[in-house]
Amino acid sequence: MNNHIEKRFVIVGAGPAGIHMAYLLAQHGIKNVTLLEKSEHFGGKCLSLTFHGQLHEMGATYIHARADEVLQLLKNLHIDKLSPIFSNEQYFFLENSAHSVINGKYWLRHEVIKDNLLPSLQKLPKRLKKTRIFWSRANLVTAILKYEYLHRKIFGKHSRDFLPKPDDKFLPLLGLSVQDFLLKNNLQILMPFLKASYVSIGYGFLENSPALYALWFVTPPFLRQCFWGLVANKPIAYVLPQGYQFVWETIIKQYELNIRFNIDIIAIKRDQSGPVIITGIDKVTGKATEWLADEIILTLPMKEALAILKEPTADELTAFSKQKASTFITSIISCTDDKRLEHQRIVFPKNLTMGAAGYLVNLRNSSECITQSDHIHHDRLELVALQYIDKETYDKYEITNSLKEELATLKLKNVEIGLQKEWSYFPHFNAEQIQAGYPWKILNFQGKNHTWYGGSSVCFESVLSVVSYNNQLISKILQS
């Protein structure tokens, strides 16, 4: 490890993965670290903005209650102010004449009974409603236990977020769509829950998202926490009243990180006999600069990295050239106060199925969810609308019009659309790559050509995943 203290490290990207890796290096006495960031802000998809006096999360928002490695990071940084998120504050919008909303647990119960009971039980008269509910709950508990059994059978017991490589015989199963995986294992009763917890935050539709990623996100502890939260009204997640970006700001200040903003990297040249040469242009001054590195850590989207790597290796091309991504758009919405929207989050189930006409998946009330305080403007609501587009390129005019139309169906008054942020979101491997084991093969070529790979492209699109991956990667770096 002593040889690394004097080494020059360059990290490409000052999002959660890049800043957290600089933090880990600093903890091991490695201070010669430069972060190169393409944009003018740090934090990547953790972007906290104040609009009309209200803090809004434009990207990552929640820390789920079993995200142990993120909670430990907050503890290490002495960030102890967290606000709880409860299941009973998650509501669902109904397409009915009243345009009403319903509590999440009642929506889930309705969907479970509607689609997953035997026909004979569905035909029971309303006076036997308790019998229907009892059997739906019994079936649900059975499915949860079966899901946990399958998860442990495939991946074994593990404490880290990054899933251990399974036996090759399970890889074809992981390449199935989430829907096909559930149907194949007679777990379709879990589909409403996965729509609410997985699809509604931008991880693809059950019909086309690879099963690997649902299993990655919905671990047995997470699943149990969510359903226990419904039954016992326990927190299912937390938010940071200061904003998620505050975590990365704290690290930058405490460890005096050296970040260069607005750097457009145009080339990375690697040579086994010499240092890595990174060439970038300052987008403000137009000046070109070269940085020399003994080790380079890439945390940007890996498809973008291929465009700037001189002579990418065969492994890099095979692993990253076919990765797919989708788009997530967050918009700040202001409207006249409406009692239906005075909840932490409103989900739109009609848009959680592939081929849906709309893109709006949920509305988040920032005063109820983030700061958990009275409205700053008592006659108006400040909301964040989240739209999911299942592709990387799209017609911006169409998406904006779609948002206006969907807000119009809510019959909201005096609607204003404010700041908007577009994210390339959820980079992932396709079924063929998963079946070939590429999420785990990357670990085998980490460090070759003095190059290391981090960020959501090599694990999963969540702060927990990139932090957990870094916690494993730092050991490999120090042992190299």
Q: What's 252's domain CATH number?
A: 3.50.50.60
Q: Do both 114 and 182 map to the same domain? A: yes
pLDDT digits (tens, 9 = 90+) for 168-196: 999 999 999 999 999 999 999 899 889 98
Determine the structural domain holding residue 447 and report its residue range: 2-45+244-322+430-479
**Mind listing the pLDDT tens digit for each residue in 433-461?**
999 999 999 999 999 999 999 999 999 99
Q: Let me know if residue 284 belongs to a domain.
A: yes
Percent of the chain with pLDDT over 90: 65
Tokens of 373: 């305080």
At 118, the pLDDT band (50, 70, 90 cuts) reads very low
Q: Are residues 187 and 303 in the same domain?
A: no
Residue 342 resides in a domain = no
Identify whether residues 314 and 441 lie together within a single domain. Answer: yes
Contact 61, 284 (CB under 8 A): no
User: Per the domain annotation, does 79 fall within a domain?
Assistant: no
Q: CA 384 to CA 382: how far, in whole Å?
A: 7
Asked which of 182, 208, 232 is the last residue of a domain, the reply is 232
Give residue 113's pLDDT: 58
User: CA–CA separation, 120 vs 111, rounded Å?
Assistant: 17
Mean pLDDT for 65-71 is 92
- Higher-confidence position of 83 and 160: 83
Indicate whether 292 and 155 sit together in one domain: no
Instruction: Check pLDDT > 60 for residue 27.
Output: yes
More confident position, 153 or 343 = 153
Is the distance from CB of 259 to CB of 15 less than 8 angstroms? no
One domain, residues 226 and 142: yes
Has residue 257 got a pLDDT over 70?
Answer: yes
Q: What 3-state class would DSSP assign to 89?
A: helix
Mean pLDDT of 134-160: 85
Domain boundary among 201, 232, 263: 232
- The band of 120, judged by pLDDT with boundaries at 50, 70 and 90, is very low
**Mean pLDDT across 87-96:** 71
116, 27: one domain: no
* 358: in domain: no
Predicted structure pTM score: 0.92
Residue entry with tokens 């409103």: 346
The CA–CA distances, whole Å, from 62 to 70, 99, 110, 241, 381 equal 11, 27, 26, 11, 21
165 and 221, same domain (yes or no): yes
| Same domain flag for 226 and 161 | yes
Q: Does residue 221 lie within any of the structural domains? A: yes
Quick one: pLDDT at residue 421?
A: 95
Same domain, residue pair 137 and 189: yes
For residues 35 and 113, state if they share a domain. no
Q: Beta-carbon neighbour count of residue 8 at 10 Å?
A: 16
Please indicate whether residue 95 or residue 40 has the higher confidence score (pLDDT): 40
Residue 83 lies in a domain: no
228: pLDDT strictly greater than 70: yes
| Neighbour-count burial of 147, counting CB atoms closer than 10 A to its CB (0-12 exposed, 13-18 middle, 19+ buried) | buried
pLDDT at 238: 93
Q: Is residue 355 part of a domain?
A: no
We report the CATH number of the domain holding residue 162 as 1.10.405
Whether residue 123 is predicted with pLDDT greater than 60 in this model: the reply is: no
pLDDT at residue 373, as a whole number: 64
Q: Which residues pair with 64 in a beta bridge?
A: 237
Among 8-22, 375-389, 455-469, the range scoring the smallest mean pLDDT is 375-389
Among 4-18, 37-51, 117-131, the least confident range: 117-131
Give the pLDDT confidence score for residue 126 in this predicted structure: 56
**Residue-wise pLDDT tens digits, 353-401:** 998 878 999 999 988 888 766 555 567 888 999 999 999 988 988 999 9
Residues 216 and 252 both lie in one domain: no
Are both 221 and 295 inside the same structural domain? Answer: no
Which residue among 232, 258, 275 closes a domain? 232
* Total domains, the chain: 2
The pLDDT tens digits of the residues spanning 126-145 come to: 555 555 555 567 778 888 99
Residue-level pLDDT at 235: 86
Is 142 domain-assigned? yes
Asked whether 244 and 57 are in contact (CB, 8 A), the reply is yes
Upper half-sphere CA count for residue 243 (Cβ side, 13 Å): 18
Cβ count near 88 (within 10 Å)? 15
Higher pLDDT, 91 or 15: 15
Count of C-beta atoms within a 10 Å radius of residue 164: 11
